[in-house]
Chain A
Amino acid sequence: GIQVEQSPPDLILQEGANSTLRCNFSDSVNNLQWFHQNPWGQLINLFYIPSGTKQNGRLSATTVATERYSLLYISSSQTTDSGVYFCAVRASGTYKYIFGTGTRLKVLA
């Protein structure tokens, strides 16, 4: 089955810093989403982005499906950005979503 790897596994930033999170996948995909899991365990939808680039405030994401990766950019980070960021993909020809192992982000005040 498809493999989904995220990097880095852990990231510590000072408030105001920028960061790039990466999601690599091993096969072609139809769907890709980025989620933020906050410290209370809630999964928050960030982007639905099977291809192309999207922006929402300080966050943006780019998926290059032909090269099998997606990037999540966080600019001017805030302490409320802390938590775990997951990407999830659905491989072409399947109905199953597979999650990556996540990037754990801590933003220090």
Chain B
Amino acid sequence: NAGVTQTPKFQVLKTGQSMTLQCAQDMNHEYMSWYRQDPGMGLRLIHYSVGAGITDQGEVPNGYNVSRSTTEDFPLRLLSAAPSQTSVYFCASSYGGQGAGEQYFGPGTRLTVT
């Protein structure tokens, strides 16, 4: 199993550009989530999904969209990038549809917005 994979590893955007961060898992986990980690800080939940077709907002959802058309994939879209979105983005998954069970994290995507 590859576990949780994220692409790209690094990305530089200009203010106003849009992009999609990719996240995939091959463990048939129902629950998937996106976090951002700013320098010297803990992780904050952006959006999460309890199963295909079901998503909801976390602590810091503004400026981000998600969708979950398959169990395996959970892409995160930045609609119009801003310097405040410069951060490291982590995707995670766990087997329980309600967030039960152990979460496994991907390696992260380091995003810089200039």
Contact = CB atoms under 8 A, between A and B. Distances in A.
Interface residues of A, number: 22
A31 B92 CA distance: 15
A95 B42 contact: no
B90 interface: yes
A101 B41 contact: yes
Interface stretch (B21-29, B63-71, B78-86, B99-107): B99-107
Contacts of A98: 45, 59
Interface of A: 1, 30-31, 33, 35, 41-43, 45, 48, 86, 88, 90, 94-102
13 contacts: A33-B103, A35-B105, A43-B108, A45-B103, A48-B101, A48-B102, A90-B99, A95-B98, A95-B99, A97-B33, A97-B48, A97-B103, A102-B42
Contacts of A101: 41-42
Chain B interface size, under 10 / 10 to 19 / 20 to 34 / 35 or more: 20 to 34
Interface of B: 31, 33, 35, 41-45, 48, 50, 56, 58-59, 88, 90, 92, 98-105, 107-108
